[in-house]
Structure 1
Amino acid sequence: MTEAEQRAAVVAEARSWIGTPYHNCADIKGVGVDCGMLLIRCFVDTGLCAPFDPRPYPPDWHLHRGDERYLGFVFDRCAETQEGAPGDVIVFRYGRCYSHGGIVTNAAPLRFVHAYWPCKQVVEEDLSRSLKLSHPDRAAKLFSYWKSVPK
């Protein structure tokens, strides 16, 4: 597959999860998923990453710990980028560290799919319309699987 086809496959996979209820540590389409497991499912199920499982983790780990556990599995597979493209990963600071993320579906305006607790499900939204996530305290960062070290 070309990079464009891979990116399209990741976006299609992310969108196929829309409406799945939010559930910590879950990864079953239509039944439950959290933001971290959504990222994993999108890249593993499209064949871009080897299967791995960071569970178990408590739902509030980011409120009590400063270690970048969430970014750890992103850093291992992606490289930070300044401009997001479809299929890239966007992450947000919550609590003491980066602990929320989604899949970019559109670059301008920046749209992404994420399992979002306040919505209680997987949604696709425009970053500029999300008052909570677009706030400077969230310090969004973008990462690309296609800019990472050779697989």
Structure 2
Amino acid sequence: MGRADFDRARVVAEARRWIGTPYHSCADVRGAGVDCGMLLVRVFVDLGLLAPFDPRPYPEDWHLHRGEERYLSFVAARCVEVERPRPGDVAVFRYGRCYSHGGIVTAADPLTIVHAFQPASIVFEEPVAANAELARPRRRAKFYSLWPEETS
């Protein structure tokens, strides 16, 4: 197992530790509350894979009223877009007027993610195809990786 595979496995394991945490906008405390963006921050920063950063504050409904790619910009500034995801990569979805929802890929086929999903009020793991909202073609999933040389 190479270093990237080891780190990918750590990301998936850490993301799964957040399962059951209630959804709470702008929060980042495992077991108490987290949103989809802060879930990504906590997993990657707490594992030491990214330097500490904090994209807050942000209004809970910013993506409904503005086209600014705020969420996508913090992902794209730290990862490289890839065509096919692998476990440990990030999946982002168009929600509202821009890309504003994401999760950590735990399986590529079928595409499965751990995410803090506001309509479900909790962090959970699910195949994207099983989520009627995220499976819609207009969501146009994009994928980002810290290990682009390992993704093909």
Which bracket does the TM-score occupy, shorter chain normalised? over 0.9
Q: How does 1:51-130 map to 2 (within 5 A)?
A: 51-130=52-131
Amino acid at match of 1:101: G
Q: Which residue of 2 aligns with 1:49?
A: 50
Q: Which residue of 2 aligns with 1:7?
A: 8
Runs of 4+ in 1 over 6 A off after TM superposition: none
- The Cα shift of 1:141 comes to 0.7
Per-residue deviation, residues 99-131 of structure 1 (Å, max 9, x unmatched): 000000011111000000111000100011111
Per-residue deviation, residues 70-127 of structure 1 (Å, max 9, x unmatched): 0111111111111110000000001110000000001111100000011100010001
Distance in 1, matches of 2:54 and 2:71, equals: 12
The number of residues matched between the two structures is: 148
Q: TM-score, normalised by structure 1?
A: 0.96
3-state SS of the aligned residue for 2:12?
A: helix
Amino acid at match of 2:140: A
Q: Which residue of 2 aligns with 1:146?
A: 147
3-state SS of the aligned residue for 1:41?
A: helix
Amino acid at match of 1:32: G
Stretches of structure 1 that go unaligned for 5 or more consecutive residues are none
Per-residue deviation, residues 46-83 of structure 1 (Å, max 9, x unmatched): 11001100111110000111110001111111111111
3-state SS of the aligned residue for 2:147?
A: helix
3-state SS of the aligned residue for 1:87?
A: coil
Amino acid at match of 1:45: D
- The Cα shift of 1:11 comes to 0.4
- The Cα shift of 1:139 comes to 0.8
Distance in 2, matches of 1:103 and 1:55, equals: 19
Distance in 2, matches of 1:66 and 1:143, equals: 20
Q: Which residue of 2 aligns with 1:37?
A: 38
Amino acid at match of 1:31: A
Amino acid at match of 1:111: T
Q: TM-score, normalised by structure 2?
A: 0.95
